[in-house]
Amino acid sequence: MQDRNQAHRIRKRISTALTLLALFIIMLIICVPGLWIVLNSFRPTVEIMAKPPVWTPSFTLEHYRAMFGGAGEGGVPVFAYFRNSLIISVTSTLIAILIGMAGGYTFARYRFAGKSSWFVGLMIFRAVPGVALSLPLFIVFARIGLIDTHLGLILVYVAMNVPFTIWLTDGFFRQIPKELHEAAEIDGCTRWQAFWKVEFPVARSGVASAAIFAFLTSWNEFALASQLTRSVGSKTMPVGLLDFTAEFTINWGGMCALAVLMIIPALILTFLVQKHLIAGLTFGGVKG
């Protein structure tokens, strides 16, 4: 009996140790590539390029100074790119949320013929690969003069984000009992009022997470943006990363600095909604 207990305890300890080891390796693989970028944005180019490698990093703000300084070596119009990214992402997110919320509400509350086909039909539009879409969009936009404009990219991102927003908000509206808006209507609200006064406040966190998801998609998109933008007036940050590449060389330090600038807003937003985001995806999917 004593022996069996001891064997059991040892086995338990080994399994705990293995779990911790696995966790450590997982975290290492997830974190190191990202941190490597952050670290290198603070290292002088000579050190990044050193052969044999320098393992004790020194600290410099050279890349950030060059990036924000504008002209000169590594002079990339970061502020213009940041502004473009911000304008395009925020506007397209707002529009996509309004349209998508209307759609999500429809799927959650109304019954109509061919409902699931409509749903899958809309999702299919989201599944069209960006590269495949960029070829015809490029030609069409060139004809109507939407190439290299904010409006062009905003339109594209709205269309890209609407289906997914519908999916997410649908899940959240479904969680709200129907009795809630029925009660409001009995009290004399119109359906419109009932939605904004009763249902929207309840689903607000879900809508917020859908918004952040849409924002991140637009913020990070490259395949379409790289073809539909040309100049400083409309290029977004992911396209701006390419400014650090030349024919055969890449300014790694500068690129890492811009990358850090790109990640920070995404990081903050993801932190804010992580809980709601998971809830939204699973409710939308499992109970949908």
Partner 1 sequence: MRMRRLPEWLVLLLPAIIVTAAVVLIPLLFSLYSSFTPYKLTRPSTLWIWIGTLNYEKILADWNFWSAFGRTILFLTVVLNLELLLGLGIALVINRITWGQRALRTIIMFPMMFSPILVGFQFKFIFNDNIGLVNNTLQSLGISDAALPWLVDAKLAMFSIMFAEIWMSTSIFAILILAGLYAIPRDPLEAAEVDGCTAWQKFRHITLPFLMPFIFIAMTIRSLDVARAYDIVQIMTGGGPARRTELLWTLMSRTGYVDARMGLANAMGYVSIILSIIFTVYFFRKLSAARNELGMGG
> Which residue, 61 or 124, is less far from partner 1 as judged by CB?
124
> Which residue, 35 or 180, is less far from partner 1 as judged by CB?
35
Angle at the Cα of 111 from the Cα atoms of 106 and 112, rounded to 5 degrees: 95
Least gap, CB of 71 to partner 1 (angstroms): 23
Least gap, CB of 250 to partner 1 (angstroms): 8
Least gap, CB of 232 to partner 1 (angstroms): 18
CB environment 39-62: b (16+ within 10 A), e (fewer):
ebbbbbbeebeeeeeeeeeeebeb
- CA dist., res. 280 & res. 95, Å (int): 20
Phi, psi of 174, rounded to the nearest 5 degrees = -65, -30
Amino acid at 75: G
**Strands (DSSP E) found in the chain:** none
Least gap, CB of 164 to partner 1 (angstroms): 7
- CA dist., res. 227 & res. 224, Å (int): 5
Least gap, CB of 214 to partner 1 (angstroms): 13
> Which residue, 44 or 288, is less far from partner 1 as judged by CB?
288
> Which residue, 83 or 126, is less far from partner 1 as judged by CB?
126
> Which residue, 71 or 125, is less far from partner 1 as judged by CB?
125
Least gap, CB of 130 to partner 1 (angstroms): 6
> Which residue, 76 or 159, is less far from partner 1 as judged by CB?
159
Nearest Cα residue to 282 out of 204, 209, 184, 187:
209
Q: Packing angle between helix 252-286 and helix 2-41, nearest 10 degrees? A: 130
Residue 10, both tokens? 């040892």
Half-sphere exposure for 163 (CA within 13 Å, toward CB):
14
